[in-house]
Amino acid sequence: MKSVSDLREEVDSWQKFNGHLRDLIELSRMDDETLRSELETETAALESDLDKRAFTTMLSGPYDDDDALLAIHAGAGGTDSQDWAAMLERMYLRWADERGYKSEILDRTEGEEAGLKSVTIAIGGKYAYGYLRSEKGVHRLVRLSPFDAAHRRHTSFALVEILPQVAMDDAEVEINPNDIKMDVFRSSGAGGQNVQKNATAVRLTHIPTGIVVTCQNERSQLQNRENAMRVLRARLLEIKHAEKEQEIAVLRGEYTKAEWGSQIRSYVLHPYQMVKDHRSDYETGNTQSVLDGDLDALMEAYLRQSGS
C-alpha cells in the first residue's frame, strides 16, 4: 500500500507539472506583452521545479526514497567536541524541519559540561535517506573555543552515521530473538521531577555481532524497545551491505579502510569563515546559513560528483 501511495503521489505530481506547462504554452501563444513579466516568473519557477525533479532521479538506490536514522557521536576533544555534536544536531533538525520532514530523537546522551556525547534521530520523509547519506563521515570544526579561558583556537571532530530505516518485514534482515540480550535501566537526564523513577530505558545487545543499542528517550519501556529494534535492524543492514562492498572492492583491488579522522567536511569559523566539502570541493563562505540547516547545495554537490 505504501508503494501504491508513493507511485500515485508521483504520477499526480507530474500531471500537475504537465498541466502547468500547458497553461504557460497557451498564455505565451496569446502574444500579449502585458503577460511577459508573469510568464518569465512562472517559467523560472517551472525550470527550478524541473531541476529538482531531474536531481531526484539520481536518488535511485534501494533505500534512497526511505526514512533515515541519523546518529552523531562527539569525537576526542572533550567539551568542545560535545558542543560541536550539539551544533550538528541543531543543524540537521533545522534542515529536516525546512524540508517538512518529521524528526524524532530516539536516544540522547548529554555531555558533562555542555553539548552531547551522542544522539540518534529518526528522520522521516521522501528521499530522507537519499539526501542524508551524503553526510556520513567525520565533520571538523575550527573555531575560537568558548570553553577555553585563553580563548584559543580549537579543532573539534564529530562522527555522523546515516542508516536507512528498515521495515520490520524486510527480508534482508532477519533477527533471531534468541540472539538478543535485553537490559533495562533508569533513564539518565536532568534532576528533580525529570528523574525517571521506573526502569524504562532499554539496552539491546546482538550477541552474534556484539552490536549494542540503547534507547531511553521515551517514558515507555515498550516504545524504547521498539525504537532500539529499529536502530538494531538498520545497523545489521549496514554491516551486511558493507561486507558486500568490501568483498567487491577487494576483488577489484581497490579496498581501503575508512579511518576516523579522514574528515568529509570542514567548518571553519576562525580565522576566516568557510564550509568546505573535501569530496566535491564545494565551498561557501556563509557558515551561519549552513549551521542553520541550509545544506541542500552541499548535499547535491556531493551526490552529483559521486554520480549518486
Cell of 161: 552515521
DSSP 271: S
CA dihedral angle for residue 301, residue 45, residue 64, residue 308, rounded to 10 degrees: -30
The predicted pLDDT at position 251 comes to 60
Query: Cis peptide before 271, with omega less than 30 degrees from 0?
Result: yes
Q: What is the mean pLDDT of residues 223-243?
A: 89
With 60 as the cut, is the pLDDT of residue 196 above it? no
Tell me which architecture the domain covering 177-252 has in CATH: 2-Layer Sandwich (3.30)
Domain residue extents for the chain: 2-56, 68-165+264-305, 177-252
Looking at residue 7, its pLDDT comes to: 84
Q: Is the overall model pTM greater than 0.75, yes or no?
A: yes
CATH no. for 68-165+264-305: 3.30.70.1660
What local confidence, expressed as pLDDT, does residue 215 receive?
Answer: 92
What's the whole-number mean pLDDT along residues 12-31? 92
- Output the 3-class SS for 227-241: HHHHHHHHHHHHHHH
pLDDT per position as a tens digit, 127-179: 999 999 999 999 999 999 998 888 889 999 999 999 998 765 566 788 899 99
Residue 199 pLDDT: 81
Please tell me the distance from the alpha carbon of residue 296 to that of residue 211, in angstroms, as a whole number.
Answer: 32
Average pLDDT of the chain?
87
pLDDT in tens, 93-125: 999 999 999 999 999 999 988 999 999 999 999
Per-residue pLDDT at 137: 92
- In the numeric block, which cell numbers belong to residue 17? 507539472
